[in-house]
Amino acid sequence: MNFKTVQTKPIDGQKPGTSGLRKKTSVFRQPGYLENFVQSIFDGTGGAAGKTYVLGGDGRFFNTDAIGIIIRMAAANGAARLIVGQGGILSTPAASNLIRKYGTDGGIILSASHNPGGENGDFGVKFNAANGGPAPEKLTDAIHKETTRIAQYKIAEDDIGDIGKIGSFTVGSTQVDVVDPVDDYEALMQDLFDFDAIRALFAGGFRMCFDAMHAVTGPYAKRILEGSLGASEGSVINAVPSPDFGGGHPDPNPVWAKEVVETMEGPDAPDFGAASDGDGDRNMIMGRSAFVSPSDSLALLTAYAHLAPAYSGKLSGVARSMPTSRAVDLVAERLGIPCFETPTGWKFFGNLLDAGMATLCGEESAGTGSDHIREKDGLWAVLLWLNILARDGRDIVQLRADHWRSFGRNYYSRHDYEEIPTEDANALMSGLRAKLPQLPGTTVAGLQVSAADDFAYLDPVDQSLTEAQGVRITFTDGSRVVLRLSGTGTQGATLRVYLERFVDSGGDHAQDVQAALAPVIEAAEQLAQIAKHTGRSTADVIT
Ligand code: G1P
Ligand code: ZN
């Protein structure tokens, strides 16, 4: 095997965002672009020499080529061993599990999550640390620093073995083990959940529809739901991963996961509907004609997690990202466990999970997970729901209605304004930030402001401070508006407006969500002057 050192120059803009480096696929395919970033990952994390990494991706366009390049670079940099998903496929949660199970030094995951794929779509590269979680800020900063001063990268020149076949080959002195992507993940799920109870549920005629959205979860869901648990054949739809996700947008929300939504609203709807995203870490949950918001799902999973063997009597605490609704806070309070509020992005949960301070965590963006790995996990959420339904016996819609009756309902919605010119988005945010100190005590759209700040997070484990994480404005009736700019977009800026209104246990929980939120939506508009700054009178995507 011949290795070569290639001279290169820094490429602008290789700064990892909320979840790794995401760019247009065409950008990643420019000569040296991927190579520069991968070499910077190695250099920014103490070098690859003697290390073991997990490697895989969500199968989007360029996945296989990129895996080949990374294998050749890891070998040239002296890595001891690579554990690669067969065909280059690994869901993000499966990769996190492999990193932890085999005690590797980390992993490289190729995905742009729910962003569209294909030649004209998006691509992404994310480094996960030895705990299985997304690299914390200090590592992503170190990697970014390397990208700004890189002068050369190393790569093997010759062809390598076949990653399509399970088995092992070597590249120089690096051993490459190609593994089944599902086996270890399924074993973990069997440890966590009551598979017998779920089998009995399906045997009793329970029906579900899981939309894999032509993305990576297809093979996992087929094998576990239809194979091991006995869901009827055809319960998993769009199960074959395709490089452009069937031309769709693999984002599991009611806007993009239309097929399962139509099925769940149809005349012969199954009992339970779900979907997962491009790389398998997000989830959408539905009952018959009922979308369960991710914030409500987190609250309900926390309230009933004790029905799953792994969580019975074991909830140390719960964590949610700041914009996520405060429904779970109420459950945590009743359970007498702490509830942590973190900035957006899964990486902020890592320390709490590692320290045993939180067991479950979640984000309003359809991410839910636990301390079983260090990523959110779409299929895990579906299995926990199935475990709960199997053991509880109630229909999911009934369960949720009973929950609201007991805890009250946090009406919740997110309004996204996409591809706004960056200067306009920045002007909106800085205008809003400037007036925060004057807001408390004032009345906007009939709502009185009780607090207004720009969220800063002091990590209780390592005391690191993360500032400017989004503006939050709270009103005296418990309603709340949060505004922040996305850190995962690849074009212009995306403004996210998060809206929440609390209706107490005795109140009306059957209102239309947008109607219930109308005063909060009006307050957000008056406070941030969204129409003026964006030139748009309504959001592009409402979830
Ligand atoms: C989005 C979500 C966030 C999630 C991230 C990665 O980030 O809002 O909750 O952790 O994707 O999946 P954003 O684009 O808002 O920065
Ligand atoms: Zn994802």
How does pLDDT run across 176-213, given as a tens digit for each residue? 999 999 999 999 999 999 999 999 999 999 999 999 99
Question: Stretch 294-322: mean pLDDT, rounded?
Answer: 97
Across the chain, mean pLDDT equals 96
Q: Which residues sit with their C-beta closer than 6 Å to ligand 1?
A: 18-19, 113, 321, 344-346, 363, 365, 367, 486-488, 496
Ligand number, closest to the Cα atom of 322 = 1
Indicate which atom in ligand 1 lies nearest the CA of residue 496: 15
For residues 392-410, average pLDDT: 97
What residue owns the CA closest to ligand 1's atom 8?
365
Identify the band that residue 542 occupies on the pLDDT scale cut at 50, 70 and 90: very high
Pocket test for ligand 1, best of 15, 19, 249, 466 (most atoms within 8 A of CB): 19
How far, in Å, CA of 323 to CA of 20, rounded? 20
User: Is the model's pLDDT at 20 over the cut of 80?
Assistant: yes
Please tell me the distance from the alpha carbon of residue 367 to that of residue 92, in angstroms, as a whole number.
12
Classify 3-180 by CATH class.
alpha beta
Residue 490 has pLDDT above 90, yes or no: no
Q: Identify the residue whose tokens are 């979308």.
A: 291
**Nearest CA owner, ligand 1 atom 5:** 345
The pLDDT confidence band at residue 136, using thresholds 50, 70 and 90, is confident
d(CA 98, CA 112) in angstroms, rounded, equals: 20
Q: Is the confidence at residue 534, as pLDDT, over 80?
A: yes
Cα angle for residues 459, 465, 471 (degrees, 5° grid): 100
Sign of the CA dihedral running 259, 361, 492, 115: negative
Q: Which residues contact 128 (CB under 8 A, 6 or more apart)?
A: 54, 95, 96, 99, 106, 107, 108, 109, 134, 135, 374, 375
Dmax of the chain from CA atoms?
72
Average of pLDDT values for 349-360?
A: 96
Which listed residue (113, 297, 370, 486) is catalytic? Answer: 113
Q: Evaluate if pTM is beyond 0.85.
A: yes
Chain segment 241-278, per-residue pLDDT in tens? 999 999 989 999 888 999 999 999 999 999 999 999 99
Quick check: 340 and 318 in contact, CB under 8 A?
yes
Residue nearest to atom 13 of ligand 1 (CA): 486
- pLDDT at position 121 is 95
Among 25-29, 349-353, 487-491, 511-515, the least confident range? 487-491
Is residue 18 pLDDT above 80, yes or no? no
Nearest CA to ligand 1 atom 10: 345
pLDDT exceeds 80 at position 489: no
* pLDDT score of 17: 81
Looking at ligand 1, which atom is closest to the CA of residue 282? 12
Q: What is the mean pLDDT of residues 83-105?
A: 98
Measured CA to CA, the distance from residue 344 to residue 324 in angstroms comes to 9
> Could you say which ligand is closest to the alpha carbon of residue 20?
1
Helix then strand then coil, in percent of the chain rounded to 5, is 35, 25, 40
Q: How far is the CA of 126 from the centre of ligand 1 (A)?
A: 14
The Å distance, Cα 393 to ligand 2 centre, comes to: 31
Question: Distance from the CA of 411 to the center of ligand 2, in angstroms?
Answer: 24
What is the pLDDT, as a whole number, of residue 347?
86
CATH superfamily placement of domain 185-407: Alpha-D-Glucose-1,6-Bisphosphate, subunit A, domain 3 (3.40.120.10)
Contact 474, 459 (CB under 8 A): no
State what percent of residues in the chain have pLDDT above 70.
Answer: 100
Q: How far are the Cα atoms of 10, 56, 110, 345, 527 from residue 40, in angstroms, in the given order?
A: 10, 18, 15, 22, 42
Neighbours of ion ligand 2 (CB under 5 A): 113, 277, 279, 281-282
Cα separation, 492 vs 484, in Å, equals: 14
**Ligand 2: centre distance to CA 485 (Å):** 18
Mean pLDDT of 152-174: 96
Confidence of residue 319 (pLDDT cuts 50, 70, 90): very high
pLDDT-derived band of residue 19, with 50, 70 and 90 as boundaries? confident
Query: Is 113 annotated in the active site?
Result: yes
Pick one of 3.30.310.50, 3.30.830.10, 3.40.50.360, 3.30.465.10 as the CATH number of 409-542.
3.30.310.50
Question: What would the mean pLDDT of 309-329 be, rounded to a whole number?
Answer: 97
- Measured by CA distance, the residue closest to atom 3 of ligand 1 is 345
Topology agreement, domain 3-180 and domain 409-542: no
Q: Which atom of ligand 1 is nearest to the CA of 281?
A: 12
The mean pLDDT value for 468-482 works out to 96
Q: How far apart are CA 475 and CA 523, in angstroms?
A: 10
Ligand number nearest to the C-alpha of 281: 2
Q: What pLDDT was estimated at residue 60?
A: 97
pLDDT digits (tens, 9 = 90+) for 47-58: 999 999 999 999
Structural domain spans, the chain = 3-180, 185-407, 409-542
Whether the CA torsion 298, 302, 307, 311 is positive or negative: it is positive
Any residues with CB less than 8 A from the CB of 394 and at least 6 apart, and which?
402
* Overall average pLDDT of the 424-448 stretch: 96
pLDDT at 144: 97
Instruction: Please state the rounded mean pLDDT for residues 82-101.
Output: 98
Render pLDDT for 57-73 as a digit per residue (tens, 0 to 9). Answer: 999 999 999 999 999 99
DSSP string across 85-119: EEEEE--HHHHHHHHHHTT-SEEEEE--TTS--ST
Residues 181-199: b if buried by 16+ CB within 10 A, e if exposed: bbebbbebbeebbbbebbe
Rounded to whole angstroms, how far apart are CA atoms 243 and 215?
A: 8
Report the separation in Å between the CA atom of 485 and the middle of ligand 1, taken as the mean of its atom positions: 10
Nearest atom in ligand 1 to the alpha carbon of residue 345 is 10
Q: Which of 91, 361, 412, 488 should be mutated for ligand 1, with most atoms under 8 A from CB?
A: 488
